[in-house]
Amino acid sequence: MSKVNTSKNVMHTSKTFKTKSISNGSYKLPLSVSIASLLSMCMLSLTPSVNISHAQITPNNTSATAGTSADKTGTITSVQNDQAGTWKLSGTWNLKNLNSNSPAFTSSFSMMKLDGSAMHKHIINDFKLAGNPTKASTGSTYNGTATVSMKEGPVSNVPISITLSDNGNISIMVDPKTTNNHFGNTPIEGKVTA
């Protein structure tokens, strides 16, 4: 038969608690448990379990759909020659959904003569990819059409070729014929910044 002993006192976090123990032959089993132990057991029972075999872990904070789309942005810094002289171009560009069937290219840049006169602005947007990008060992080229803002108003369906080089450069060739040779016959150059 077990005896209950209630004469033992336990100190824990500056409070005294009466404890009881069950004596069964030579062993004494305490009925009281420290507050820290109780809290620990409660926390363990409240902790949700995770099935690791079904948890999706994606390294480096990349999405699980990485490789299906990408974005690139950068700057335009270029010098163009046309029949009116030499022009300095500066601005920004971005190419979204790079690896999709419908990448979106937009660019906004100012154009001025080397002495700072005749400054005006152009926007290229509404890019529509024709076919698939051409991959080469030095980069990728995206051919299609876009809308280009001009002095007389926006010109749509302008053939455009965008080349992203692996060395961090971008080249934007705007069809000279449909833009009255406004950008000359050389590509607009820039850099990839992100």
Q: What is the pLDDT along the chain (194 residues), one digit of tens a residue?
A: 544 444 444 444 444 444 454 445 544 445 454 454 544 454 444 444 444 333 333 333 333 333 445 899 999 999 999 888 999 999 999 999 988 889 999 999 999 999 999 999 999 999 999 999 999 999 999 999 999 999 999 999 999 999 999 999 999 999 999 999 999 999 999 999 98
Q: What is the dihedral of CA 14, 18, 22, 26, to 10 degrees?
A: 60
Q: Cα separation of 68 and 46, whole Å?
A: 39
Query: Minimal CA–CA distance to 174: which of 110, 118, 119, 127?
Result: 127
CA 174 remoteness from chain centre: 28
Q: How far is CA 3 from CA 11, 25, 34, 70, in A?
A: 23, 9, 22, 74
At position 71, the amino acid (one-letter code) is D
pLDDT given for residue 25 in this prediction: 52
Whole-model pTM over 0.75: no
Q: Encode 12-44: b = buried (16+ Cβ within 10 Å), e = exposed.
A: eeeeeeeeebeeeeeeeeeeeeeeeeeeeeeee
Count of residues for the chain? 194
Q: Cα separation of 169 and 185, whole Å?
A: 19
- Residue 57 has φ and ψ, to the nearest 5°, of -115, 125
Q: Cα separation of 156 and 23, whole Å?
A: 94
Q: How many CA atoms lie within 13 A of 30 on its CB side?
A: 10
pLDDT given for residue 69 in this prediction: 53
Q: Among all chains, which residue has been given the structure tokens 């926006």?
A: 154
At position 133, the amino acid (one-letter code) is P
Task: Return the structure tokens found at 161.
Answer: 């070729």
